[in-house]
């Protein structure tokens, strides 16, 4: 009864805690994903060209917020109104250098709520433009330094229809550059500096509402009014995910005002997260079904054991005239004070787990009823017929009844039919978890257990005949007892198979996802580190090689939408565009070797040398279909002929999901002294790389390149170098989306399956402890030592544990392949096909489970027989 209470407590804890943890982890993942989204994706923005006055749009800020579809108004925590002039239509000039000449200055202007509160003036004042006067503008310290602007300086803004005068009245610095108020003012905080001849400066400044009207009227550039609403990710949760997604989609379709456009991709981002969450909920449902089935199996076994232990008592009551209801009420009176209380304690502990409160716990109530009524029900069922002589409890391999064979065949049919339906329909938790389809893996494991139970006697009988010829009786007795298999020991075998299959299933899925993520990380960062910039000086590789921790460096150039033509002599005919990667083949191979990543650099790229003919290239299948055997591609404005030396679906460094790409060997491309290929990426190998020093050297190389192009000393790089390591990218994959819920499913399956498997072994030992004690006591009088007594238990347990472990491992390893795309594992890996992967650690864990099960069995046996008295088992008629 105590064992039954513990099982009820654990089952209630699982049924209560698992949904709460799932909800908590799903909410965390959702909020973290939304917080990482760029503002153009996560915010709901409205934009429209409106005539002056620009200040009039402020009155609509609250009105539009209230008009958002429910529940969005309650989720908005920040809102901004802005009037802006596009920098692409507005050129600035002045009377002082460098504004009076040189590269063009594309200068955007913006008036926006919240900017004065988020900035601090370092010179001058905030704009107060008077109607008809010059527009007053403030700029950031970065813009002022780049264009040598100062307070009081006069500017002219030229548009399509005229010019407008302006004056710089102040310089500011942002209090927090990461404040979302600056999201649309990126060019105001970080101006774009020209790198190549002919490129312009791209900057922005802040003015007031009247200033926007003045410049718009003078230049003819229309002002764009915009309203931006930020949804507070802290108010989002997985329960409202569907309603928020539908509301954002509805906001995009609404007619706000004439000519207005709505910009947001929040609904797409939420839909992607919902897809991951549905997939992981399906996985969790499968794992939870396995664990619950194992617990229910142990509960039934514990109840049956309680009835078998008291069969003489019940038989005596029936012989004295007790009705079945009297036996049921007697056992119910014993269960009622204990079992509901144990289930309540498990539910109470489960409610302390972080997470949202769900619906009424009907499953917990059903569990309390089950654990309370199962012993009375089995007790009454066992005494339907009054018997004087009891049968042998140690013999189970008798001819099964037709009813039992029918039930077992039904389980096999249900398992097979479930697999077919599951592969056709899949699991869709969004429409509610299908109890039957979610339990298909459990049915498969139970079917395998039934087959194992039917097949196990045959090899054990053969082993028994061989053991009879060996010296000593210990091996023979152990195999014989395992071959007889008491009825209560067959249940642990089935539970053990289900538990092991659940744990192995979780382990296989874990290693499958991990292997796919490793592959995704390698395709994205095909080295220890991937250094990215705008343009580096040609001599940057030598400087980077001298950084502490760097062992090898390979230069690369990557760009998208490069022209493909039949050959360099006929550039007019295009064959489409492609993403181009130019990489030094031998250096790439060295970096890969030193980094230890799983990348095979094609021999055509490694061995290519500079010559007169087309260079060898690796292309994607769509490009190969368009170009045939050879073509030419644009690399930094020059066409290079290439021949197709290899076709690959993916290539490291090109980027995940890129369908059209061309990879060229740098060392084979002809270069000229004044027009070399300028690298914008570097592959870096090394341990404990000094990242700060590496980024400093990279930015120095970028400044040297920009200074050479502009002819003046540049102190600020246009795009600061960024370093992405393989390890950081791989860890980031483990932190995105509903990964915490996925980890919970894996952990629950592996840990819970292992614990229940060990518990089932211990139960098998406890179930027949009395019979084993009688046998060992008799053998001890014949000279059996304590060590051989323990060895007898090992011989008896080895077939049970080994068969269950191997069968469960086979089922668990086969389930991902059987279920196939139903699991939806591709949702957790970006742009990489998911292939079943059975790690050697999973196999080792199965063998470890066998050893752990045997050790547990010995420990339980020692605990049960510690106070055993030898004489008690030898009394005539003693059967306890």
Structure confidence at residue 880 (pLDDT) = 44
- Structure confidence by residue, pLDDT tens digits, 209-242: 999 999 999 999 999 999 999 999 999 988 888 8
Q: Give the pLDDT mean for 760-768.
A: 72
- Structure confidence by residue, pLDDT tens digits, 419-431: 888 777 766 555 5
- Reduced to 3 states, what is the DSSP secondary structure of residue 710? helix
Structure confidence at residue 431 (pLDDT) = 53
Residue located via tokens 């065949």: 409
Confidence of residue 715 (pLDDT cuts 50, 70, 90): low
Kindly tell me the burial class for residue 875, based on how many C-beta atoms sit within 10 Å of its own C-beta (0-12, 13-18, 19 or more): exposed
- Structure confidence by residue, pLDDT tens digits, 128-142: 999 888 999 999 999
Confidence of residue 483 (pLDDT cuts 50, 70, 90): low
Q: Contact at 8 Å (CB) between 808 and 446?
A: no
Does pLDDT of 361 surpass 60? yes
- Structure confidence by residue, pLDDT tens digits, 430-480: 555 566 777 788 888 888 888 887 777 777 777 767 766 767 666 777 666
Confidence of residue 397 (pLDDT cuts 50, 70, 90): very low
Task: Return the percentage of the chain with pLDDT > 90, whole number.
Answer: 28
Q: Classify the C-alpha dihedral 548-550-555-558 as positive or negative.
A: negative
Q: pTM of the full predicted structure?
A: 0.77
Q: Contact at 8 Å (CB) between 831 and 436?
A: no
Gyration radius from the chain CA atoms: 37
Q: How far is residue 244's CA from residue 241's CA, in Å, rounded to a whole number?
A: 5
Strand 615-619 relative to strand 661-665: parallel, antiparallel, unpaired?
antiparallel
Q: How far is residue 870's CA from residue 867's CA, in Å, rounded to a whole number?
A: 10
- Structure confidence by residue, pLDDT tens digits, 345-360: 999 998 888 887 777 8
Q: Over 489-549, what HEC string results?
A: HHHHHHHHHHHHHHHHHHHHHHHHHHHHHHHHHHHHCCCCEEEECCCCCCCHHHHHHCCCC
Task: Return the percentage of the chain with pLDDT > 70, whole number.
Answer: 88
Chain centroid, CA 518 distance in Å: 13
Q: How far is residue 165's CA from residue 157's CA, in Å, rounded to a whole number?
A: 6
Does pLDDT of 553 surpass 90? yes
Q: Contact at 8 Å (CB) between 70 and 254?
A: no
More confident residue, 499 or 788: 499
- Reduced to 3 states, what is the DSSP secondary structure of residue 254? coil
- Reduced to 3 states, what is the DSSP secondary structure of residue 21? helix
The region, left, alpha or beta by phi > 0 then psi within -120 to 50, assigned to residue 628 is left
Closest CA to 801 of 567, 493, 560, 587: 493
Q: How far is residue 847's CA from residue 862's CA, in Å, rounded to a whole number?
A: 23
Closest CA to 795 of 846, 857, 842: 857
Domain ranges of the chain: 1-43+245-391, 45-231, 451-524+729-880, 525-728
Confidence of residue 389 (pLDDT cuts 50, 70, 90): low
Does pLDDT of 836 surpass 50? yes
Q: Classify the C-alpha dihedral 291-292-296-302 as positive or negative.
A: positive
Does pLDDT of 263 surpass 80? yes
Name 120's Cβ contacts closer than 8 Å, sequence gap at least 6: 172, 173, 174, 175
Q: Give the pLDDT mean for 701-705.
A: 84
Q: Classify the C-alpha dihedral 783-788-789-795 as positive or negative.
A: negative
Closest CA to 541 of 640, 677, 664: 677
- Reduced to 3 states, what is the DSSP secondary structure of residue 338? coil
Mean pLDDT of the chain: 83
Question: Counting runs of H as helices and runs of E as strands, what totals does the chain give?
Answer: 30, 20
Does pLDDT of 486 surpass 60? no
- Structure confidence by residue, pLDDT tens digits, 845-874: 777 777 777 777 777 766 666 555 545 555
Q: How far is residue 478's CA from residue 476's CA, in Å, rounded to a whole number?
A: 6
Structure confidence at residue 488 (pLDDT) = 42
Does pLDDT of 789 surpass 80? no
Q: How far is residue 185's CA from residue 86's CA, in Å, rounded to a whole number?
A: 11
Peptide bond into 736 cis (omega under 30): no
Closest CA to 633 of 668, 591, 662, 595: 662
Does pLDDT of 487 surpass 50? no
Structure confidence at residue 480 (pLDDT) = 67
- Structure confidence by residue, pLDDT tens digits, 10-59: 888 888 888 888 888 888 888 888 988 899 999 999 999 888 799 999 98
């Amino acid at each position: 009864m105590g064992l039954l209470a513990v099982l009820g407590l654990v089952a209630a804890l699982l049924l209560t805690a698992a949904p709460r943890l799932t909800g908590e982890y799903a909410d965390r993942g959702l909020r973290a994903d939304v917080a990482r989204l760029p503002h153009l994706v996560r915010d709901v923005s409205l934009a429209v060209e409106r005539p002056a006055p620009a200040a009039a749009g402020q009155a609509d800020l609250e009105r539009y917020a209230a008009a958002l579809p429910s529940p969005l108004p309650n989720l908005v925590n920040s809102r901004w109104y802005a009037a802006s002039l596009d920098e692409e239509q507005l050129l600035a000039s002045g009377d002082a250098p460098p504004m009076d000449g040189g590269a063009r200055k594309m200068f955007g202007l913006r008036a926006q709520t919240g900017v004065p509160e988020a900035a601090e003036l370092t010179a001058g004042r905030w704009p107060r433009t008077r109607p008809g006067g010059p527009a007053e503008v403030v700029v950031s310290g970065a813009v002022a330094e780049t264009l040598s602007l100062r307070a009081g300086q006069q500017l002219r803004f030229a548009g399509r229809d005229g010019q407008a005068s302006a004056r710089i009245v102040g310089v500011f610095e942002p209090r927090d550059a990461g404040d979302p108020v600056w999201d649309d003012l990126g060019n105001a905080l970080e101006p774009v500096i020209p790198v190549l001849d002919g490129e312009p400066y791209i900057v922005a400044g802040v003015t007031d509402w009247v200033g926007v009207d003045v410049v718009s009227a003078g230049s003819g550039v229309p002002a764009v009014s915009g309203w931006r609403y930020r949804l507070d990710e802290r108010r989002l949760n997985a329960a409202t995910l569907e309603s928020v997604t539908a509301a954002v989609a509805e906001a995009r379709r609404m007619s706000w005002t004439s000519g207005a456009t709505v910009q947001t991709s929040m609904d797409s981002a939420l839909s992607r997260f919902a897809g991951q969450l549905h997939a992981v909920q399906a996985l969790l449902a499968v794992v939870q079904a396995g664990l619950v089935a194992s617990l229910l199996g142990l509960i039934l076994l514990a109840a049956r054991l309680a009835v078998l232990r008291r069969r003489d008592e019940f038989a005596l009551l029936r012989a004295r005239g007790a009705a079945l209801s009297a036996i049921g009420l007697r056992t119910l009176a014993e269960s009622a004070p204990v079992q509901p209380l144990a289930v309540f304690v498990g539910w109470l502990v489960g409610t302390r787990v972080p997470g949202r409160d769900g619906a009424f716990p009907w499953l917990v109530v059903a569990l309390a009823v089950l654990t309370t009524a199962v012993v009375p029900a089995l007790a009454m069922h066992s005494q339907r017929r009054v018997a004087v002589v009891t049968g042998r409890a140690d013999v189970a391999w008798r001819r099964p009844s037709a009813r039992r064979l029918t039930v077992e065949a039904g389980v096999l049919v249900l398992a097979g039919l479930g697999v077919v339906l599951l592969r056709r329909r899949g699991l869709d938790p969004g429409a509610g978890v299908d109890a039957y389809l979610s339990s298909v893996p459990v049915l498969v494991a139970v079917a395998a257990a039934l087959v194992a139970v039917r097949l196990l006697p045959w090899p054990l009988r053969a082993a028994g005949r061989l053991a009879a010829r060996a010296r000593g009786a210990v091996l023979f007795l152990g195999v014989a007892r395992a071959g007889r298999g008491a009825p209560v020991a067959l249940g642990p075998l089935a539970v053990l198979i289900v538990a092991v299959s659940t744990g192995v299933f979780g382990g296989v899925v874990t290693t499958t996802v991990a292997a796919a993520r490793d592959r995704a990380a390698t395709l994205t960062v095909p080295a220890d580190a991937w250094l990215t910039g705008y343009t580096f000086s040609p001599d940057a590789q030598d400087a980077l090689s001298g950084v502490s921790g760097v062992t090898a460096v390979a230069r690369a150039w990557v760009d998208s939408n490069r022209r493909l033509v039949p050959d360099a002599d006929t550039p007019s005919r295009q064959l489409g565009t492609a993403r181009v990667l130019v990489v030094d083949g031998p250096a790439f191979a060295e970096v890969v070797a030193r980094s230890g990543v799983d990348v095979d650099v094609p021999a055509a790229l490694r061995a290519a040398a500079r010559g007169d003919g087309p260079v060898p290239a690796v292309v994607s299948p769509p490009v190969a279909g368009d170009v045939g055997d050879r073509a030419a591609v644009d690399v930094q404005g020059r066409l290079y002929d290439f021949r197709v030396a290899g076709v690959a679906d993916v290539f490291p460094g090109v980027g995940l999901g890129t369908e059209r790409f061309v990879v060229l060997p740098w060392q084979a491309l002809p270069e000229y002294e004044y027009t070399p290929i300028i690298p914008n990426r570097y592959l870096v190998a090394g341990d404990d790389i000094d990242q700060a020093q590496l980024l400093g050297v990279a930015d120095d190389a970028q400044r040297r390149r920009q200074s050479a192009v502009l002819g003046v000393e540049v102190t600020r790089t246009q795009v600061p170098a960024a370093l992405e390591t393989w390890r950081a990218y791989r860890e980031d994959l483990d932190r995105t989306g509903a990964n915490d819920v996925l980890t919970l499913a894996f952990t629950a399956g592996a840990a819970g399956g292992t614990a229940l498997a060990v518990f089932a072994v211990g139960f098998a030992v406890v179930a027949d402890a009395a019979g084993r004690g009688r046998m060992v006591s008799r053998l001890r009088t014949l000279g059996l030592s304590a060590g051989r007594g323990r060895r007898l238990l090992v011989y008896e347990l080895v077939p049970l544990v080994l068969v269950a472990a191997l069968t469960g491992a086979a089922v668990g390893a086969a389930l991902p392949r059987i279920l196939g795309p139903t699991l939806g594992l591709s949702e957790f890996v970006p742009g990489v096909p998911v292939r079943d992967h059975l790690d050697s650690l999973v196999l080792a864990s199965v063998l470890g489970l066998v050893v752990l099960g045997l050790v547990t069995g010995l420990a339980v046996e020692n605990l049960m027989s510690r106070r055993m008295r030898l004489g008690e088992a030898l009394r005539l008629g003693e059967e306890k």
